[in-house]
């Protein structure tokens, strides 16, 4: 089934849910000026079409693990794709993005202690398809629009 373009009401619903995914359908309906059943139908369609992939919990900065970092990964050879698959097994890796330029992957990681970050870096360095890594520690979070 082809995806529909989002209309203004879809975008309003997504904006409200982006600010607070725990809104009830009744509250959401009141905020956007639709009936609860119309909101429910739109949300089902947005889920079915893959616009909404799920609802999640976002912890405040004080609830996050102690250390956040970005690992910049250079791949090597045909094993690079295999390394990306293996990264899914590391719960500390929150996001893995392929990027353009001198770096192949940027990993966003969260760990409790520096020892955990060192272990993760060592594990990644031994993976087939990883040529080298560089680490950027997050000193202070500024804002997060996710």
pLDDT digits (tens, 9 = 90+) for 43-82: 999 999 999 988 877 666 555 558 999 999 988 776 667 7
Q: Specify the higher pLDDT residue, 65 or 85.
A: 85
Quick check: 78 and 71 in contact, CB under 8 A?
A: no
Query: Do 72 and 30 share a structural domain?
Result: no
Indicate the Cα dihedral angle 36, 41, 42, 45, nearest 10°: 160
Q: Could you tell me if residue 3 is inside a domain?
A: no
Query: Do 65 and 34 share a structural domain?
Result: no
CA 97 – CA 38 distance, rounded (Å): 36
3-state secondary structure at position 38: helix
Range of the domain at 78: 61-137
Query: Do 88 and 20 share a structural domain?
Result: no
**Geometric angle at alpha carbon 9, from 4 and 1, rounded to 5°:** 15
**What's the total number of domains in the chain?**
2
pLDDT on residue 2: 45
Query: Do 70 and 42 share a structural domain?
Result: no
pTM comes to 0.60
How deeply is 64 buried, as exposed, middle or buried, from its count of CB atoms within 10 A (0-12, 13-18, 19+)?
middle
């Amino acid at each position: 089934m082809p995806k529909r373009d989002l209309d203004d009401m879809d975008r309003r619903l997504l904006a409200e849910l982006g600010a607070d995914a725990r809104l009830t359908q009744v509250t959401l309906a009141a905020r956007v000026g639709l009936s609860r059943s119309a909101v429910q139908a739109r949300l089902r369609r947005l889920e079915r079409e893959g616009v909404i992939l799920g609802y999640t919990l976002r912890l405040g900065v004080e609830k996050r693990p102690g250390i956040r970092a970005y690992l910049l990964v250079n791949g090597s050879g045909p094993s690079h794709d295999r390394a990306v698959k293996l990264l899914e097994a590391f719960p500390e890796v929150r996001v893995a993005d392929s990027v353009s330029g001198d770096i192949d992957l940027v990993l966003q990681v969260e760990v409790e202690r520096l020892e955990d970050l060192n272990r993760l870096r060592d594990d990644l360095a031994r993976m087939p398809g990883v040529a080298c890594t560089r680490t950027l520690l997050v000193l202070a979070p500024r804002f997060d629009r996710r």
